[in-house]
Chain A
Amino acid sequence: DAGVIQSPRHEVTEMGQEVTLRCKPISGHDYLFWYRQTMMRGLELLIYFNNNVPIDDSGMPEDRFSAKMPNASFSTLKIQPSEPRDSAVYFCASSYDGGEETQYFGPGTRLLVL
């Protein structure tokens, strides 16, 4: 398996622009997680899905952030409008609901908002 795939790997945008991050989970995995990583706050869980349904979005910073999972093989995290404080590395992870709780992380998207 190719593992969790994220795109783009790097994104540079200007404040106020819309940013869309994409994730393809490992085939057969039931859970998908979106994380944000910064030096100051470490790894923060933003939202996670089970069978394409959002389960916990309490980590989503504010209404500027939204996430969707239209099918089992694709998810997006959108920031509109983006702000400099959104600059971070965004990770997508997936896991399988078979008793094992291992989360498999993608390579991340490094976002810089100028």
Chain B
Amino acid sequence: QQQVKQSPQSLIVQKGGISIINCAYENTAFDYFPWYQQFPGKGPALLIAIRPDVSEKKEGRFTISFNKSAKQFSLHIMDSQPGDSATYFCAASPVNAGNNRKLIWGLGTSLAVNP
């Protein structure tokens, strides 16, 4: 059962444009929402993360927008560059209880930024 639904599956954006990737979750116990970036032949790496006490977090050209009532969060990449071409994964984790560190992953979005 997919608990984190990610869309779109693939995305093509022109250089300088805005890339938007969306994720929706079902479990209201989730309280940590990271985005990971994966380049071909590499392992995923944390890009940016948010907790539900804020509605937005920005780091450089990357912004997470979080809508707790709708149970949705999205990644915005401003001024997209060819170097941003990668696969992006959203994930969610339940309340940090004991030694529970399990992330529930979306299926990924393949982003291609055309020069």
Is A7 positioned at the interface, with any CB of B under 8 Å from its CB?
Answer: no
Interface residues on B, range: 20 to 34
Contact with A along B100-112 (1 / 0, CB 8 A): 1111011110000
Question: Which of chain A's residues have a CB closer than 8 A to the CB of B103?
Answer: 45, 101, 103
Given A31-B101, A43-B105, A101-B32, residue A108 in contact with residue B93 (CB < 8 A): no
Partner-contacting stretch, out of A14-22, A48-56, A70-78: A48-56
Q: Is B46 an interface residue (CB 8 A)?
A: yes
Q: How far is the CB of B37 from chain A (nearest CB, A)?
A: 11
Nearest-Cβ distance from residue A49 to partner chain B, whole angstroms: 10
- The answer to whether A34 has its CB under 8 Å from any CB of chain B is no
Q: CB < 8 Å: which of A43, A48, A101 contacts B108?
A: A43
A42 CB contact (under 8 Å) in B42, B43, B45, B108: B108
B1 at the interface (CB under 8 A from A): no
- Interface SS, A side: strand
- Count of residues in A whose CB is under 8 Å from the partner chain: 22
**Number of residue pairs across A and B with beta carbons under 8 Å?**
56
A101 touches B101 (CB 8 A): yes
- A43:B89 contact, CB within 8 angstroms: yes
Q: Contacts of B49 on A, CB cut-off 8 Å?
A: 101-102
Contact flags B39-59 to A (C-beta < 8 A → 1, else 0): 001111110010000000000
Instruction: Give A44's nearest chain B residue, CB to CB.
Output: B105
CB-based contact B42/A107 at 8 Å: yes
Chain B residues with CB under 8 A of A93: 43
Binding site for B on A (CB under 8 A): 4, 31, 33, 42-43, 45, 48, 50, 55-56, 91, 93, 95, 97, 101-108
Closest A-B pairs by Cβ, 8 of them: A105-B43, A42-B107, A50-B99, A43-B105, A102-B46, A91-B43, A105-B44, A31-B101
| Chain B residues near A (Cβ < 8 Å) | 32, 34, 41-46, 49, 89, 93, 96, 99-103, 105-108
